[in-house]
């Protein structure tokens, strides 16, 4: 049980690095076309192209849930929940 809790928090913490790295080198790099509308609030849509990045990480989280569900990766649930919890926290802090 302690291993799963540790993996959850390590994953949550590692996601902060992933968010920084992704933002600096990917969003402001070769995927700027998806991210630039986040810096300009001149649109009426509730969905931004930038939200594609949240969908990407959600799919990774779901992938880890499935790896756990089908007994491929025992700690997949802890990893998936860590990614999910970080995404939810990030959304509440930055987008609400």
**Residue bearing the bigger pLDDT, 42 or 19:** 19
- What's the total number of domains in the chain? 1
Cα torsion 59, 65, 69, 70: sign = positive
For 85, residues 6+ apart whose C-beta sits below 8 A from its C-beta are 8, 12
55 is a domain residue: yes
At residue 20, the pLDDT reads 94
- Among 11-20, 35-44, 59-68, whose mean pLDDT is lowest? 35-44
At residue 13, the pLDDT reads 98
Domain containing residue 30? 2-36+48-94
81 is a domain residue: yes
87 is a domain residue: yes
Question: Helix or strand or coil: residue 20?
Answer: helix
77 is a domain residue: yes
41 is a domain residue: no
Of residues 13, 7, 22, 6, the one with CA closest to residue 86: 13
């Amino acid at each position: 049980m302690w291993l799963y809790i540790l993996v959850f928090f390590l994953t949550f913490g590692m996601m902060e690095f992933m968010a920084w790295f992704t933002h600096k080198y990917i969003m402001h790099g070769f995927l700027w076309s998806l991210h630039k509308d986040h810096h300009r609030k001149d649109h009426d849509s509730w969905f931004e192209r930038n939200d594609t990045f949240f969908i990407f990480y959600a799919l990774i989280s779901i992938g880890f849930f499935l790896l756990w569900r089908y007994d491929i990766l025992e700690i997949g649930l802890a990893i998936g929940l860590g990614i999910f919890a970080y995404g939810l926290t990030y959304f509440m802090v930055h987008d609400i």
